[in-house]
Structure 1
Amino acid sequence: MVAQAKTKERIIDAAVSLFNAKGFDGTSVREIATKAKVNVANISYYFEGKEGLLETLVTTYFEGYIAELENEFELREYKDAKECLQGMVSAVLNYQHENRTIARLVYREISLDTTFIREVMTTYLTKEKYYLKTVLEKGMEDREFRKVNPSFIIIQLKALLSMPYLHPQYLTEVLYIMPQETYFLEQYNGELTAWIRTMLYEQREPKKQVYVRLTRK
């Protein structure tokens, strides 16, 4: 069992490296086997081919991703909406950072319109939308957030969360940071916190100054 687990791990590591470097279509099963130092038949045995290997990578990634969101979502009974949303964002950023090579691959592949990707969108990403929408609506109901269209906020937030892995060069040009840098999490989390405040927090009207005219008696 240990040997089988190590073999599967070597295949997955090799696939992630090659898919990122050459793309899914540009990578052959034989190249994966050679890099993983396994027999080609092992890929068919464990993953039913290259397509099954990609499905395993995407599914495993999103299972962990949704688990992070669920953990924070379940704490909404004990936190206000602001804390809950920030906790969800921080959890996702940490998860992506820890799995950044797979994150880069997954976000690129789900941009393609395939039957498998549509199934992923229907399951995992539908759950994600539910969690985020519920917290946003609670925040608006409790007057923590101003009235906004939750769908627009979710679309923008998703774009910001995936930006470091889909467009790292652009992130470098704008914020001068890269996902692999040690201080990336702290700095980018700060950027998203500022964005959330700008988009969602109630804008308070500045207090009007009252001028009192003093007169001599």
Structure 2
Amino acid sequence: MPKDETQEKEPRERILEAAATLFSTKGYAAVGVREIAELANVNVAMISYYFSGKAGILKEIVLRYFDSIKAIYDKVLAENYPPETKLRKIVDELVELMKNKTIFCKVAITEMPFDLPEFADFKAEVARRHVEYIKLGLKVFEIFPENQKFSSIITPAALSLIFSHFLFYPIIPKVWQIEIDDDYYDLYSKTISTLLLDGLNGVIKQFINNKIEDGK
């Protein structure tokens, strides 16, 4: 009798996939270790062995997400493209990542419970990496204003703009009566890139005008 595809995966990967599925549908706080073990078809001891508990699973999901983001930036920024092309390629790669790893990305972005004690030390690292990677993308143009107020606005806004579709994915085909296929994602990437580029140009003008008004 052929093995189920899930059963052919290593226990560690089965645990991660099961946890990501449950976290994305029910939320981190509502999911128990036994529930994860049951879906992954492993015993609870394996979760403790590989991840030291539920918090360790979530941290692994988040770190994998950031490793994937870093790989995208390293790949694109190493190429000798014009600035606009680099930003568009970064968006293309991010959309492709989120399309193929939607559940993991959703969990990494939305399910980090910063108020829990076991995540206190992890919180600063997560925030730092988000800011670092968004800055890398914006510095393609060497226009990122080194201003904490602008940074605090642009960073979450850019991330939300790219990921918004994947949060609403289940209802989009029903509401707009459309088919979501490769052509759709090609248009999505181009549209988001243009929104980012045009928006950044507006922010730069605002920043320059503010400096002029302040006499700086």
TM-score, normalisation: structure 1? 0.73
CA distance in structure 2 between the aligned counterparts of 1:111 and 1:165, rounded to whole angstroms: 20
- Aligned pair count reads 188
The residue that corresponds to 1:132 in the other structure is 137
Distance 1:200 1:12, change over 3 A: closer
Give the match for residue 143 of structure 1. none
Query: 1 CA distance for matches of 2:177 and 2:68?
Result: 29
Q: Give the alignment partner of residue 65 of structure 2, picking from 61, 64, 68.
A: 61
- How far residue 12 of structure 1 moved from its aligned partner, in angstroms, is 1.1
Counterpart Cα distance in 2 of 1:161 and 1:175 = 19
Q: How does 1:20-169 map to 2 (within 5 A)?
A: 20-75=24-79, 78-110=80-112, 112-113=114-115, 114-115=119-120, 116-122=122-128, 124-137=129-142, 152-168=153-169
Taking only the aligned residue pairs, the percentage that are identical comes to 26
Structure 1 Cα separation of the partners of residues 17 and 192 of structure 2: 30
Contact 2:27 2:111 survives alignment (8 Å): no
Q: C-alpha distance in 2, partners of 1:128/1:11?
A: 28
Does the CA-based 8 Å contact 1:132-1:154 persist in structure 2? Answer: no
Q: Aligned partners of 1:58 and 1:121: how far apart in 2?
A: 11
Shift of 1:194: 3.0
Structure 1 residues 8 and 155: alpha-carbon distance in aligned structure 2, compared to 1, 3 A threshold: closer
Please tell me whether the aligned partners of residues 18 and 39 of structure 2 are also in contact (alpha carbons under 8 angstroms): yes
In structure 1, runs of 5+ residues without a counterpart are 141-148, 203-217
Give the conservation status (yes or no) of the 8 Å contact 1:163–1:171: no
Q: Please say which of residues 193-202 and 101-110 is displaced more in the overlay.
A: 193-202
1:58 match: secondary structure: helix
Offset of residue 130 of structure 1: 3.2
Correspondence 1:198 to 2:182: no
- Larger deviation: 160-169 or 24-33? 160-169
Structure with the higher fraction of residues in helix conformation = 2
CA drift of 1:37 comes to: 1.2
Structure 2 residue matching 1:13: 3-state secondary structure: helix
Tell me which structure has the larger Cα radius of gyration.
1
Aligned-partner Cα distance in 2 for 1:126–1:156: 11
Q: Which runs of 5+ in 2 are unaligned?
A: 1-6, 203-216
- Offset at residue 156 of structure 1 (A): 3.0
* Secondary structure in structure 2 of the residue aligned to 1:164: helix
What RMSD over aligned residues (CA atoms) do the two structures have, in Å? 3.2
Higher relative CO (Cα under 8 Å, sequence separation at least 6) belongs to 2
Q: Distance in 2 between matches of 1:175 and 1:112?
A: 35
| Partner in structure 2 of residue 189 of structure 1 | 189
CA gap 1:72/1:32 in 2 versus in 1, 3 angstroms? same
Shift in CA distance, 175/153, structure 1 to aligned 2, threshold 3 Å: farther
- Evaluate the alpha carbon distance shift between residue 112 and residue 184 of structure 1 in structure 2; reply closer, same or farther with a 3 A threshold: farther
* 1:11 and 2:12 matched: no
User: Which letter maps to 2:100?
Assistant: E
Q: Deviations over 1:119-174 (max 9, x none)?
A: 2112x22330331232132699xxxxxxxx67655443222012123344686699
Deviation at 1:175, TM superposition (A): 7.0
User: What amino acid sits opposite 1:105 in the alignment?
Assistant: V
User: Is the Cα contact below 8 Å between 2:102 and 2:166 reproduced in 1?
Assistant: yes
